[in-house]
Amino acid sequence: MAHLLSRRTFIITIGLLVLTSTASAKRRRRLGADTGDNDIPLRFRGHGLARGQVPKSKVLTKPQLKDCVIRHEALDESQAKIDENQSELNKMEQALEEKSRSIDESRVAVDRYSKESVDQFNAALGEHQLFVDRYNDGVSKLNSDVNQSNQDVLAFNAHCGERQYYIDDMRSVLRVLGITTN
């Protein structure tokens, strides 16, 4: 029984170590940036230029800008999926803790001289282990998704994060992609 308890504690600890705070793409408007792009619904705005305005760095072309918008949308979808999976794992973790307490309480009541009582308890342990395995699979999947999302964020930031664009190009790309402006 002590082995079961220490394994359960280890598994729950592993579950708590799941990395959920992914690095986020640079999405905030720089303070003081009033570039006339307030109608653009993407959160990585703030580097928009009016035509004729002198850029301080390289400016994204329309195809590059389209790629950045698509990447941004994919990051949002990925984060929503991660948040949903994390929520489901949190519920599973609570259920696992409850089942573990129930197993601990049942252990005391097992009649070690009764084959039926021992078999019943062992069956409950088997069901518990299946639930633990399902939870661990979910944690592994979530960790994999978070790692992939972090790589995608790094790629987004490298290609799009600090780049400027022309506001009219952004509006055009958003129209082509069917993303409405405010």
Question: Can you tell me the mean pLDDT for 37-58?
Answer: 74
Q: How far apart are CA 175 and CA 41, in angstroms?
A: 12
Q: How far apart are CA 82 and CA 84, in angstroms?
A: 5
| Secondary structure class of 73 (helix, strand, coil) | helix
Examine the pLDDT at 19 and tell me if it is beyond 50: no
Question: Can you tell me the mean pLDDT for 8-36?
Answer: 41
Closest CA to 81 of 16, 173, 149, 175: 149
Could you give the C-alpha distances from 161 to 52, 69, 100, 127, in angstroms and in order? 22, 11, 46, 48
DSSP run (H or E) holding 71? helix 62-109
Output the average pLDDT for the chain: 80
Predicted local distance difference test score (pLDDT) of residue 90 = 96
Interior angle at CA 62, CA 79 and CA 41, nearest 5:
45
pLDDT interval class at 44 (50, 70, 90): low
pLDDT interval class at 163 (50, 70, 90): confident
pLDDT interval class at 58 (50, 70, 90): confident
Cross-strand bridge partners of residue 164: 59
Determine what percent of the chain is predicted with pLDDT higher than 70.
Answer: 74
Q: Check residue 53 and report its DSSP letter.
A: P
User: Which distant-in-sequence residues (6+ apart) come within 8 Å of 124 by Cβ?
Assistant: 102, 103, 106
* Per-residue pLDDT reduced to its tens digit, 96-143: 999 999 999 989 888 899 999 999 999 999 999 999 999 999 999 999
Q: Could you please report the per-residue DSSP string of 108-159?
A: HH--TT-HHHHHHHHHHHHHHHHHHHHHHHHHHHHHHHHHHHHHHHHHHIII
Q: Which two tokens stand for residue 1?
A: 């029984």
Whether pTM exceeds 0.85: no
Of the listed ranges 32-36, 86-90, 116-120, 131-135, the one predicted with least confidence: 32-36
